[in-house]
Structure 1
């Protein structure tokens, strides 16, 4: 039986854990060669050793502008093509704005917004030249609802929501698809900043998603006929109460 992504090359950022790791595992299982991008070299090596030559580790510090700029050239040097970019790397700042550390705000906005824009900017010429390509960006339910306990994080995802909608309209004529996936809270390291009582309550009530469930929806988005773009999928646990 033919696998869905046989012969394709995918790039996933933030691939050493959480949604990025689940997305990488899904695409590897479907036959893709996957370049797993993260700054955690030890984690990448451990993960890729389980999959053989189809999993390619690429250590990049996306917050270093010079290092970030090498991502696409290094992938193309290794694989010769990029069919899928899953721009997933991100971080989280929650709580009251007045209590937030301004350096953490800068870091989060750089990673959640600037890095995503730069990664997409850098891959577009290659995809436009080939007249095909899929770009998936990990957004958040916070992009669709003014979540009162995370004004900084939510603002970054509202920005990404706008970015996805506008870039999609620019590049669809070249055969490219751009979409975002907006999950509610996912069991991952990003929830480390949640108040303990809130996290405990969410776990006990079944109000969290698994990273593998998000990866399943990424697969759905990528496997639609080329004439169809899944612009944005909002997914949340049924028990999650806004």
Structure 2
């Protein structure tokens, strides 16, 4: 079986569930060693046992400034290098702006925007020094059009689109590829508050995609020739007709 990422070292945030877990599995199958970063130590312990020696647990709370700052140095102590960073961890606020709280807004922006920029800032000198690397950020289709039913979440993803595409232009001279994956609605922890019946109906209607669909797209992006960058891939359920 082909192992296109044999011996690569990947770091995935939000790796204990959803897109992060599916991507971790896909990268392991492609031959990479995967540092699975998440705040859920218990889940990481169980998953790394299940997935084998190629999976490495990294307990990090990205909303804790000190824990966030320690992540990349701690990973480098464990692995010696980072070839791939997938900034995937995020949270969601939908509905009317007036119905949320300043605390919820702060939490979401700190996780969806600030932690991503901090993680990339931490790994960039390492990749620049080695003159190689891949940085992929989980964005959203909501970062591409005015998503009126989730303006706070959409605002965070527009910020990430701007950051990723600006950074990509800075890093290309260092042979570091920077890109984003922009899914539509995905069956993940972000939909935990959906009633089970609504989730079932949306799945049956083709209105949701699975985390594995996103992971396959990420693997495609990472396995192109170094002279090719997939700068952004929008992946949608076939019946998603809002954009």
Q: What's the TM-score once normalised by structure 1's chain length?
A: 0.97
Tell me, yes or no, if the aligned pair for 1:94 and 1:193 is still in contact at 8 Å.
no
Aligned position for 2:83: 83
Aligned position for 1:188: 188
Which whole-Å CA distance do the structure 1 matches of 2:61 and 2:178 have between them? Answer: 24
2:202 is the counterpart of 1:213: no
2:19 is the counterpart of 1:19: yes
Aligned position for 2:92: 92
Aligned 1:34-183 pairs, distance under 5 A: 34-183=34-183
2:104 aligns to what SS in structure 1? helix
Rate the CA distance shift 1:228–1:153 in 2: closer, same or farther, 3 A.
Answer: same
Tell me, yes or no, if the aligned pair for 1:93 and 1:193 is still in contact at 8 Å.
no
Cα deviation for residue 212 of structure 1 reads 0.3
Which whole-Å CA distance do the structure 2 matches of 1:178 and 1:16 have between them? Answer: 23
Tell me, yes or no, if the aligned pair for 1:92 and 1:193 is still in contact at 8 Å.
no
Which whole-Å CA distance do the structure 1 matches of 2:201 and 2:157 have between them? Answer: 24
Cα deviation for residue 2 of structure 1 reads 4.2
2:53 aligns to what SS in structure 1? helix
1:185 aligns to what SS in structure 2? coil
Cα deviation for residue 241 of structure 1 reads 1.6
Cα deviation for residue 200 of structure 1 reads 5.5
Deviations 1:125-149 (A, max 9, x none): 0000000000000000100121111
Aligned position for 1:9: 9
Cα deviation for residue 4 of structure 1 reads 0.9
2:228 aligns to what SS in structure 1? coil
Aligned length: 242
Tell me, yes or no, if the aligned pair for 1:37 and 1:58 is still in contact at 8 Å.
yes
The gaps in structure 1 that reach 5 residues or longer are none
Which whole-Å CA distance do the structure 2 matches of 1:195 and 1:50 have between them? Answer: 30
Cα deviation for residue 194 of structure 1 reads 5.0
Deviations 1:161-181 (A, max 9, x none): 000000000010000000000
Cα deviation for residue 236 of structure 1 reads 0.2
Which whole-Å CA distance do the structure 2 matches of 1:195 and 1:119 have between them? Answer: 34
The gaps in structure 2 that reach 5 residues or longer are none
Aligned position for 1:228: 228
